[in-house]
Amino acid sequence: MGTGNIAGVATAIAMGGPGALFWMWAIAFLGAGSAFIEAALAQVWKEKVEGEYRGGPSYYMARGLGMPWFGALFAAVTVVSCGLLLPGIQSNSIAAAAQSALKVPTWASGLLVTGLLGLIIFGGVKRIGRVAELAVPLMALGYMIMAVVIVVIDWRRVPETFALIFRSAFGLEAAFGGITGSAIAWGVKRGIFSNEAGQGTGPQAAAAAEVAHPAQQGLVQAFSVYVDTLGVCTATGLMLLLTGQYNVVDGKGGFLVQNLPGVEHGPRFTQAAVDTVLPGFGPGFVAVALFFFAFTTLMAYAYYAESNMAYLLRGRRTRWGVTAIRLGLLGMAYFGAVRTAGLMWAMGDIGVGLMAWLNLIAILLLSRTGVKVLRDYEAQVKAGGPLTFDPEALGIRNTDCWKR
């Protein structure tokens, strides 16, 4: 779970209406395929560096496509995206939720997030990160329980809410007929942001897993897309629509729906929805949960940015480059906390788009290899023997990590 499941869904509905949720579902079905391919490819061409597996788009671009320059380009784009363009979304969501629930000034939230993150990436205080990682599953469970409670309380309106989503998605709902294009655009953008399918960040984490066959990790990655979008994002969307705690803009500076006057789209919509069922408790819980979700995402961005900087500078001194991107990330984390959500999401969309276009070109060119890997896995499962992976037998080269 992350900011995309909470603030992202709220933003999609605010900009595209209820129909945006349908297009988030649609992109999940397409995204699961790309998630499988990119994770499987990351496993095929992973490397062992200092006792840990590393991989991802830069590796399969360089080794699989035989284009080192393409891998270097993706690494450079990832450094800029994860180090500078994306962190502001996370800190902005933390600051907005804390301000709404706890009246904490945005600058104070920015300083707290930046300070804690700096202690981890510069000071080596890993305990903070471990606490955050341990808290995330509990917060996620609590969030889903609240979502289920809200849906159960108003279960009679669930069918008509789904009907509203479908009608709005295709311009059949009079109130939202003029923003069908926005529903598609925002649903697709926020769906990709939430489940990360095709972005190129997911396979970097997938490469670190130890599996007997690359397809195993690919299937796990594909399944996670369904859980993320069809499960968690749907839960958030239903909370907002059932409680009526959302606004929808018309794209011309006005509103088609304005149930929350003066409230900016983002986590505040979700807080307002939970507050209708758990007055006084819900907004605070969402703020705390969002802090852990967003903070662990910031840690992941730091890892991606540093890893790709090291990839670019391998064989040379990397300390200056890593230090520079760390400082840039911390600066953008504070900047995001004190700026508007619209600006931060716009910057984040640029980062996601840059990575996704490059990565999608690569996985399209390597899709035949991905299909080979899947068929090999299916044949072994059907045969019932232990899983093994022999890339040479499949005609796949430059896979030193899989040599027996």
Strands (E), 18-93: 47-49, 52-54
pLDDT tens for each residue of 16-46: 999 999 999 999 999 999 999 999 999 999 9
For residue 236, give its domain range. Answer: 3-402
Spatial contact of 56 and 39, defined as CB atoms under 8 Å apart: no
How far is residue 191 from each of residues 4, 25, 196, 302, 344, measured CA to CA in Å? 8, 7, 8, 22, 17
Q: Is the pTM of this model over 0.95?
A: no
pLDDT at 49 over 80: no
- Which residues are CB-neighbours of 70 under 8 A, at least 6 positions away? 61, 62, 358, 362
Number of domains in the chain: 1
Q: Which of the four pLDDT bands, split at 50, 70 and 90, describes residue 129?
A: low
How far is residue 205 from each of residues 136, 280, 333, 385, measured CA to CA in Å? 17, 38, 22, 28
Q: Which of the four pLDDT bands, split at 50, 70 and 90, describes residue 404?
A: low
pLDDT tens for each residue of 87-123: 999 999 999 999 988 899 999 999 999 999 998 888 7
301 CB neighbour count, 10 Å cutoff: 26
